[in-house]
Amino acid sequence: MNMTGIHPFERALSVSTEDIELELRGVTEITWADFWLNPRKLRGSDFLMRWSQGVWSEKRLIDATNKTNKFYAIPYGPSGTAPTNDVRAFELYFERLEAAGLGHIKRPDLLVFKIADKPFVNEFIAGIGGAEELPFITEDKLQPLIQKAIIAVECENSLWVAEKMPDFKTPMKAQKRLGGKLGLAKTAVLPTVIIKEEDRFPLSKWQEENKIPIHVWHVFFDRAFGLSFDEAQRLVTDGLILPTEQVFQAPGGATTKKAIYKYYYHYAYPLGVSSERPQLIPAFIEDKNGHILPYVKFEGGSLTIADEAINVLSKL
């Protein structure tokens, strides 16, 4: 199945099957068929945890950027501007976006500005009714805001402690599959910055049309890495990074194979280091029939933007 044909809510919460860690041993069937939030079914706790993790990581990046007192970040894409305290409200937001015919438009998740432009940004956003209205406004009307940005950010996250991954700090070596170019074994487990193949063209188009550079910021449990989209494209063109095929599952059960690009952190710049670990606390939602679906919720934690990242932003 092609993921571009599914509802944007399900696309936003699709999870790589490699990342689905939760198991119920001894249970052969989980009858989630009766579990409804709005019009779609959530098939397991992985998707709720994915939602919570995504909300947490984007908020962490915004807070860390704003604490530098040099730069100011705001949510821009639909997943970042949607409600963050209620998964049903999150879903209904995507329903509204779909009804407006804007559900399949790809925008970066964040916009980053110089701190001097914060008053203008806040006034502009207040004038349109709040950041949550951004996805419902066509970009030609948002140009005064967009053109103030120094970069746009595509956010990714992973449930790993980066520094404990087996091949963290493993040096790259010549690889036969890369024609002798430097790389790591296909089985290496290390921090990477990920871009989906399906996102490469729309992100490239957005960057070209708006003349604002895009960076990809990937958050791990303990640190984060950044990579410019132009550099990511070059690494693919030069044959230094090859696509990897993974199976993704959406909350409604649809599965599809997607090509993704995993860029070794060696090519990225250090974006930040965790100065306070988040808490993982139990949470649940209950449907109208009293069914309970538990999941783990991310709360707290903070990230300190690295000097390397501040230098990158300052040069822009």
What is the rounded distance in angstroms from the CA atom of residue 128 to the CA atom of residue 218?
29
Whether the pLDDT of residue 109 is over 80: the answer is yes
275 Cβ neighbours under 8 A, 6+ residues apart: 302, 303, 304
List pLDDT tens digits, range 206-247.
Answer: 999 999 999 999 999 999 999 999 999 999 999 999 999 887
* Domain boundaries, given as residue ranges, for the chain: 3-160+194-231+266-315
List pLDDT tens digits, range 5-38.
Answer: 566 656 666 666 555 444 333 333 333 333 334 4
63 Cβ neighbours under 8 A, 6+ residues apart: 302, 303
List pLDDT tens digits, range 279-306.
Answer: 888 877 776 667 777 777 788 889 999 9
Task: Please provide the average confidence, as pLDDT, over all residues in the chain.
Answer: 83
Q: How far is CA 158 from the centre of its chain?
A: 9
Least confident of 89-93, 157-161, 171-175: 89-93
pTM beyond 0.85, yes or no: no
Confidence band for 100, pLDDT divided at 50, 70 and 90: low
What is the rounded distance in angstroms from the CA atom of residue 83 to the CA atom of residue 161?
27
Biggest distance spanned by C-alpha atoms of the chain: 59
Q: How far is CA 254 from the centre of its chain?
A: 20
Total H helices, total E strands in the chain: 9, 15
H or E stretch covering 216? strand 214-219
What is the rounded distance in angstroms from the CA atom of residue 75 to the CA atom of residue 72?
11
Report percent pLDDT > 90 for the chain. Answer: 53
